Structure 1
Amino acid sequence: MYILFILSLFALLYPVLSCISSTEINCTCKHTAQDIGECSSNDTCIGFVCYVFTRRYLHSISTQWGCLKEDDIAEASHISNDSLCPRKFPFEYSPNLLDECCCTDYCNTNLKPEFTTTATPPLTTTTGKPIEKSTILAFSISIPLFLISIIVLLLILLSLFFRSGYANSRLFRSIGSTRIRRTESYCLCSGSLEGDTLSSGSGSGLPFLQPRTVAKEIQLLELVGQGRFGRVHRGIWRGDSVAVKIFSTVDEDSWTRETGIYNTVLLRHDNILTCLGSDMISNDGVTELWLVTHYHPFGSLYDYLNKSTVQLEMNIFSQLAISAINGLVHLHWDISGTHNKPAIAHRDLKSKNLLVKNGCTICIADFGMAVRDQNKEDLDEAAKNIKQGTSRYLAPEILGETIDTTSFDSYRRVDIYCFGLILWELMQKLKSPDEHVDDYQIPYHTEAPSDPTFEDMREIVFVQKKRPHSSKRLLNSTALASILQIMQECWYQDPGARLTSLRIKSTLTSTLAFVPNNVYSD
C-alpha cells in the first residue's frame, strides 16, 4: 500500500518537487495510513514538503494531510508518469487520486483537492475487491458468445422441429380467415348464407390453441352429435364457435389414432376437417379426451339431407359431390417432396362423417378408424378390427371376409364402395321441375332393418349382391345416366373393378360440366 501511495502521489506532484525546502518545515498532519509519516499529538509533523492526499474509493472520499521526509522524496525521484498510469488501465489510478503540495509552514492546512469530473469507480466483487481487467474482458467476450450459441442452437432445433412434422403435434392449425355466423337459412346456391368458417376477424386467423390449455379456454355449449367413439359439443373459444369431440378413456386408442392422422404432414385441405388441438382433462373425476376442430353449423351431410326444405339443384349437387371426392383424392394419394404425406384410407366413410360447409361444399371428418399406407401398426390394427364400422356401409369383401388385410389398397377400395352409397344419397334430393324431391332414405332402407347386424348386411350385400334402388325419375333422366354409371362402378362386387378416387374425380367433373341445372328438361 505504501509503495502504491508513493507512486500515485509523486506521479502527480513530481513537477512541484522543485519547491522542496532546504530546511524542515511544520505541516498539518491528519491521516490513517500508519506507514506514511507520523503525526504528533497536536496534529502536526515535520518534513521537507507538506501535502494533501485525496482518494476516492467506490462511493466514499477520504483526505489525508501530512509531510514527506527526506527518504520519501529520494524514493519518489525515480518515478515516471508511464509507470504511474499504465496505458492499459487508464481508470485504475489517476481518476480516483488527487494531490497537492506546498513548501511553507502549515501551508497544507486549508488545502483540499476536489474532483472536478465524475470518474467511473473500479468494478468490484461482492467481497469489495476490484475485479481484474482480464476478468471483465473474459466476461465481455464469453457472455455474447454464449448468447449467440444459444440462439443458433434454438434455430437448429426449430428447423428440425418443423422439418420433422412435429410442429403440428397436438398444436394443430390456425382457424381460417372469416368469422362464423349462425343462420337459420340452409345452403343455397345464391350464396345467401353468410360466413361459415372461423376467424378472429383480424385477417390472420385465431392464435394457435396450445396443447394442454385448450380445455381451460373453451366453454362447452349444446350437444350437436354423438357417435360410436364419443360425443360432439359446440364450444366457444374467445368468441368463436369450435366443435369439441369428447372421448372416454375406453376409446383412447381411437382418440390417439385420430390425433395422429390430423398430425400428418400436408393433410390440410379445404375438404378435410381442420383440427385445432387436443387435450386431456379430468371432469368430476372422469378423464376426458378432447379433440377440437372447426365448427360447421350445417352439421353432417346426413343431417343436411334429412331436412325437408333441402332440394338440390344440379349445381349444388355438383358442388357437394365434387368437393367430397376432392377430399377423398387428397386422402388416398401420397405427396412426395420436402415433406411427405402418406396415402390414407378412411375406412368409415358415410354421410354422417361428411360435414357441410358454407358454399355447399363437403369436408371429410372422423378419422378414428383411418389407416396410413406403409404404417404397419395401422395395418395390424385394421386387420384386428376388420368388422369394425357401420354395418350398413360395409363393403362386400369385408362382409364376406375376403379382403386382403395386408394390402393398403384394399382399404382404399372399401372407401370407393362407400362413396358410391353417398352419391346415391345425394341423388335422392335432386329437385324435379315440379319442385318434387324424394324423401331422404339411408342406403338399403328397403332391404335391411333399421339397425342391421353384420350378418344382415352380409346376406344382402355379399350373398344376394343387392345394391340400393334408385327412383324411376332418376333412372328416366338421360342427363343423369353418366352419374348413375359412376355410382354403379363404385360399388362393384369385385373390389379390383371399382374406379379409383382420381378417376371418379376426373369423370365426375367432366360429366357434371355438361349436365344442365334442370336435369329433367326436354
Structure 2
Amino acid sequence: MRLSLRSVLTASIAWLSTCIPSPAVTSDRRCVFLASPQNTKWIRRAGNISGPSQHCARTECCMGYFLLDSRKPTPILLSCSIIQTRCPNSSCHASLLHQKFIRCVCSSDFCNANISFNQQAQQTEYTQPQYSSDLLTVNVLIIPAGALFLFISLVMALKWKILLKQCRPVTPPNTHDVFEISNTDLDKHLEMQKVIACGHFASVWQGIFQGSSVALKVFPTALQQEFNKEKDVYKLPLMTHSGIVRFFGHGKIGKEFLLVLELATQSSLNALLSRTVCDWACTLKLARTLSQGLAYLHTDLKMNGVYKPAVAHCDLSSSNVLVKADGSCALCDFGCSTVLQRRGYSGIVEGKMQMGTLQYMSPEILEGCVNLSSGRCLLQADVYSLGLLLWEMLMRCSDLCTGSPGPEHTLPYEMELGRSPSLEDLLTFVVEKRHRPAIPHLWARVSQDLLLQELLEDCWDHDADARLTAECAANRLASLTLED
C-alpha cells in the first residue's frame, strides 16, 4: 500500500530527530542577556533578545560564564543556553572549567544573574542587582558564543600570555600510540587561543598543544555520548589518511571533553567557497582529495593483522569537510558516523544509526526506506552527498563560468527551495519529483562538461544501487585533466 506524503513525513521526522539541529521550540524561560554588538549574532540563535533580557527559543536553560579574579566571579557571558543541554538546578551553581573560569546552567527565570562558587571550602557569591522584568542593567565584555565553552581572545590571552611567548612552530605531536592525554599534560602544555567554529554539539578552538598548532574540539559534560562516538571513530585502526583529519588524542578539561585534531588553516569547505572563487586546478584538487578521503573511509581493509572496518560518514556536508593549507580536503565530524562490521558480503550496521544535515540526505534516507541489514545503503547515501558537494564546488569554479562572473556560493537546493528547506519540501522536490540541483548551460562550453555532468548524475542517481561507489568516483576524477 502506498504511504501518503504526510505519513512518510511524520515517520521520517521521528526517525531523523537525533542529529538534525533541533528547531526552535516554545519556551517561557527568560534569562539575563549580555553581548557586544559583534557577538550578538551568535547569541541570537538561543532566542529573541529584548534589551538586557532574552526569551529562550531552544531550551529551558540559562547559562553564565565567569572569570575568577581574586576569587570574585566576574561575568563574561550571560544568555539562554545556545545548545540543548540538561539543567536540573534552578539556581546558578558554578562548575570549574579550567583554572580561573567557571560556568553554570540553571532552569529558572534570570537565574544566571547570580552565581554561587565554593573554592577551598570558602563560599564566594557574586550577586548582581535585583532585576525587574523591564529593567536589567549590567556592563561587561561579552565573548563569542555558540556552545558551552566560549571566551574572548583577550581573556584567553591573559590566561596564556606566558605560554604565548614561548610558542614556536614544530612538528605536530606524535600521539598515535598514546591516545589518552593526561589532565596534567593538558594543564601544562595546552593553550586555547580562539574559537574558530561553533556546532550543534561542540565548539572548536584553535590552540597549541606541546608547542604545535592544533584544533581543539570541546564537548560539554552533558554530551559525553556524542564525544565518545566521535572519539571511537577516530581511534579505529588504520584511520590515518591524508583525506581524513588527523587525530592526536583526547582528554578532559575540568568536566569538558576534548579531541585534539589537526588544524586545517583554510577552515571548512563551506567557508572557503563562501569567500573565494576557485580556478579549475584548485577545484579539481578539492574534488579529488575529498573523494579519495571518502573512498578510504568506506574501505574495510586488513593490514599486518590489524583490521579497519568500513565507516559511513552519514553527515557529509560542506561544513563537515575541512580544507588544509595545501588546498586539499579532509573529512571531519564523525558524530553521526556508523561503523560497519564485515560479515560475509554485507556490512552490518552496529549501534544506533544517526543521520545528519537535511539537504544533503539521499532520497532513501529522506523517505526512511533504508535497508539496515546491509551497510551498503549507508555508503551509497554518502555518495549521493558527495555528488552534491562536487556540484557545490564546481559552481564556484571560475574556469567553468568563462565570460560570466559566476554565481554566489549556494548550498544544494538553495536556489529552488531556499537556504533551509524543510523535510516536506525535500520529500516533494527530491523524492517525488526526482529533481536535482541545476547544472548551468555555461558548463557546456568546457571540453570536460559531459564527463562532469555524467559524474554528478551517477553520484546522485535516485536508485542507490545505480550510484557509483566512492572509489569509482575518485577514479573518474583522477582521470580528468588539468586543462579545462
TM-score (norm. length: structure 2): 0.60
* Closer/same/farther in 2, CA of residues 281 and 391 from structure 1, 3 Å limit: same
Contact 1:369 1:382 (C-alpha < 8 Å) held by counterparts: no
The answer as to whether partners of 1:200 and 1:206 remain within 8 angstroms in 2 is no
Partner of residue 231, structure 1 = 203
SS across alignment from 1:312: coil
The alignment status of 1:345 with 2:327, answered yes or no, reads no
Q: CA deviation at 1:350?
A: 0.9
The reply on whether 1:322 has 2:252 as its aligned counterpart is no
Amino acid at match of 2:472: R
CA distance in 1, matches of 2:306, 2:168: 29
What is the match of residue 355 of structure 1? 322
Partner residue of 1:331 out of 297, 315, 321:
297
Residue 351 of structure 2: aligned partner: 381
State which of 184, 188, 192 in structure 2 corresponds to 1:220. Answer: 192
Aligned to 2:181: 211
**What residue number does 1:422 align with?**
389
In structure 2, do the counterparts of structure 1 residues 435 and 450 end up closer, same or farther at CA, with 3 Å as the change threshold? closer
Q: Secondary structure at the match of 1:234?
A: strand
1:453 is matched by which residue type in structure 2?
S
Q: Which has the larger radius of gyration?
A: 1
Quote the residue 2:464 is aligned against.
495
Equivalent in the alignment of 2:227: 255
Q: Which residue of 1 aligns with 2:418?
A: 449
Aligned to 1:412: 379
After TM superposition, the score normalised by the length of structure 1 is 0.56
Give 3-state SS (helix, strand or coil) of 1:406's partner.
Answer: coil
- Over the aligned positions, Cα root-mean-square deviation in angstroms equals 2.3
Matched residue pairs, number? 307
Residue 367 of structure 2 is matched in structure 1 by: 400
> How far did residue 242 of structure 1 move?
1.2
Looking at structure 2, the residues matched to 476 and 400 of structure 1 have their Cα atoms a distance apart, in angstroms, of 37
Q: Which has the higher contact order (CA 8 A, sep 6+)?
A: 2
Q: Which is richer in strand? A: 2
What is the Cα deviation at residue 413 of structure 1? 0.4
- Residue 138 of structure 2: aligned partner: none
Q: Distance in 2 between matches of 1:202 and 1:231?
A: 25
Give ranges in structure 1 of 5+ residues lacking alignment. 1-198
- Displacement of 1:453 after TM fit? 2.8
Q: Give the match's secondary structure for 2:477.
A: helix
> Distance between the aligned counterparts of 1:490 and 1:254, measured in 2?
29
Structure 2 residue matching 1:336: 3-state secondary structure: strand
The unaligned stretches of length 5 or more in structure 2 are 1-166
Contact 2:173 2:210 in 1 (8 A): no
Whether the 8 Å contact between 2:174 and 2:248 is mirrored in structure 1 is no
2:249 paired residue among 277, 280, 285: 277
Amino acid at match of 1:255: F
3-state SS of 1:340 partner: strand
Distance 2:306 2:364 in 1: 34
Q: How does 1:430-441 map to 2 (within 5 A)?
A: 430-432=397-399, 433-434=402-403, 436-441=405-410
Amino acid at match of 1:468: P
Structure 2 distance, partners of 1:260, 1:206, is 20
1:237-277 per-position Cα deviation (integer Å, ceiling 9, x unaligned): 24432111111233222211111111111110111100111
Residues 127-149 of structure 1, C-alpha deviations (whole Å, 9 max, x = no match): xxxxxxxxxxxxxxxxxxxxxxx
One-letter amino acid of the structure 2 residue matched with residue 379 of structure 1: V
Report the CA distance between 1:315 and its aligned residue.
Answer: 1.4
Instruction: Find the aligned partners of 1:260 and 1:320 in 2 and give their Cα distance.
Output: 27
Tell me the distance in 1 between the aligned counterparts of 2:467 and 2:180: 43
Match of 1:31 in 2: none
SS at match of 2:452: helix
Cross-structure match for 1:391: 358
Contact 2:339 2:350 in 1 (8 A): no
Letter in 1 for 2:186: A
**CA apart distance, 1:349:** 0.7
Instruction: From the superposition, tell whether residues 375 and 453 of structure 1 become closer, same or farther in structure 2 (CA, over 3 Å).
Output: farther
Q: 2:216 aligns with which of 244, 250, 255?
A: 244
